[in-house]
Amino acid sequence: MRYDFDNPPDRRNTLCNKWDRVADLFGNPDALPMWVADTDFPCPEPVMEALRARLEHPIFGYHYPPDSLYEAVVDRMWEHHGWRIRPEWVVLGPGVISDLRSALGAVSRPGDEIVLQPPVYYPFAAAVGDEGRRVVENPLLLEDGRYRMDFPGLESLFEVVTSFPARDPRISAVVLCSPHNPVGRVWERGELGRLGQICLRQNAVLISDEIHCDLVVGDGAHVPAASISAELARNTITLMSANKTYNTPGLKTSFAIIPDEDIRRRFGFAGRARGGVNCLGLAALEAAMRDPDDYLEQLLEYLRGNIRVFREGIADLDGVKLVEPEGTYLLWLDMRGLGLDDHALARFVVNEIGIAPDYGYVFGTGGGGFQRINVGCPRSMVVEAVSRLRGALRAR
């Protein structure tokens, strides 16, 4: 089936966070909604068919995941990422952030330190705090327009902690965002291997949020960190869902892949309070994993077109620079050249330009002066955003 991403259904008045809360939250009802990380595209027709079929049965009681769903995930990992997993490694959940909390519960104790690499998806820090753990930061480095991980910086965090006599507090986990929201990196095998080795050496579990794994818009390929070696697999919790790619986050279904039996058991205990599975989400996830009509291919082609329009549209502007995205549909726009502080920049972007973005500073250290702009939207909106940006900068 050919999808028409240029003409999606109108989302206004559907209780949609991204569209219906712009006026309340940004104060400018005309600002283009380019913030929340969902797309404006309908989910694939096979997902709709699976949901319709499930809705035909009028009872929505308690459910368990069918074997066929585990098989779909196993096949998907092999076909898309060359990663051989076993069905028993897959644990269904109600959302990736919820699963992150279960992962923290499984591999750390209250008071432990957890490494984040900001600027990064801000609910990570909230999840760490909500679980009674503490964030330690190993900020990403921006060099020649590309972000990289600071490996010596990471090693030194462990040295600081372990030099204290009782090794308490201890760093028990490193949370990776791969591909990285918001800076758009698709980490290379070598980088992931190095990170994984540090975690192994330092006895810290790697929690790898790979929710954006399908959304590679550059030349690279997504490598699941746990696929690099059996040793690394045993020390990694991988978090995934179909929600970013197939636009189903409201169905509240995710999955973790946990090869180590003991960690898996503890993850199960930690997640018990978060409830069971959503029967509609199960149906949608299985259909999405099978992606029988090439939705993903078409989506990627469309997103690359949107990124091209944005990149070319701002190339000659002073004061703004696009960090070239390798993955996700979230652009990371460097506006530090405008010389505005974060609050002035937010006002400028929302009121003068007319875009509702995610403000860079909310992503933590290193996010100030940037804006995250979601181009998982019709091309016409990207064209309009570029035109507004150009107009506002000219008028400045």
Ligand X SMILES: Cc1ncc(COP(=O)(O)O)c(C=O)c1O
Interface residues toward ligand X, by CB under 6 A? 37, 95-97, 121, 177, 181, 209, 211, 241, 243, 249, 254
Smallest gap from Cβ 330 to ligand X, in A, equals 8
Closer to ligand X by Cβ: residue 39 or 241:
241
Closer to ligand X by Cβ: residue 227 or 241:
241
Closer to ligand X by Cβ: residue 100 or 389:
100
Smallest gap from Cβ 79 to ligand X, in A, equals 22
Smallest gap from Cβ 351 to ligand X, in A, equals 25
Closer to ligand X by Cβ: residue 161 or 237:
237
The 3-state secondary structure of the chain reads CCCCCCCCCCCCCCCCHHHHCHHHHHCCCCCEECCCCCCCCCCCHHHHHHHHHHHCCCCCCCCCCCHHHHHHHHHHHHHHHCCCCCHHHEEEECCHHHHHHHHHHHHCCCCCEEEECCCCCCHHHHHHHHCCCEEEECCCEEECCEEECCHHHHHHHHHHHHHCCCCCCCEEEEEEECCCCCCCCCCCHHHHHHHHHHHHHHCCEEEEECCCCCCECCCCCCCCHHHCCHHHHHCEEEEECCHHHHCCHHHCCEEEECCCHHHHHHHHHHHHHHCCCCHHHHHHHHHHHHCCCCHHHHHHHHHHHHHHHHHHHHCCCCCCEEECCCECCEEEEECHHHCCCHHHHHHHHHHHHCEECEEHHHHCCCCCCEEEEECCCCHHHHHHHHHHHHHHHHHC
Closer to ligand X by Cβ: residue 139 or 249:
249
Smallest gap from Cβ 36 to ligand X, in A, equals 8
Smallest gap from Cβ 252 to ligand X, in A, equals 7
Smallest gap from Cβ 235 to ligand X, in A, equals 20
Closer to ligand X by Cβ: residue 41 or 121:
121
Closer to ligand X by Cβ: residue 97 or 258:
97
Smallest gap from Cβ 6 to ligand X, in A, equals 24
